[in-house]
Amino acid sequence: MLYNCHVRPSQMMRISVSHRLILLLIDIGGKNK
């Protein structure tokens, strides 16, 4: 979830839900390795 710290709230609102889900899956995948 570190990517949220580098993104301003206004920019986060522009990110689509699908994009956030992809980033979440990447984050989970990195932890599972």
Please list the pLDDT of the chain residue by residue as tens digits (33 residues).
Answer: 555 556 666 666 666 777 888 888 999 888 876
End-to-end CA distance of the chain: 16
Task: Look at the chain and report how many structural domains it folds into.
Answer: 1
pTM: 0.42
pLDDT of residue 10: 62
- Amino acid residing at 6: H
Please give the mean pLDDT across all residues of the chain. 73
Place of tokens 């984050």: 27
User: CB neighbours of 19 closer than 8 A, spacing ≥ 6?
Assistant: none
pLDDT of residue 30: 85
Domain span including residue 25: 2-32
Q: Is 32 buried (19+), middle (13-18) or exposed (0-12) by CB count in 10 A? A: exposed
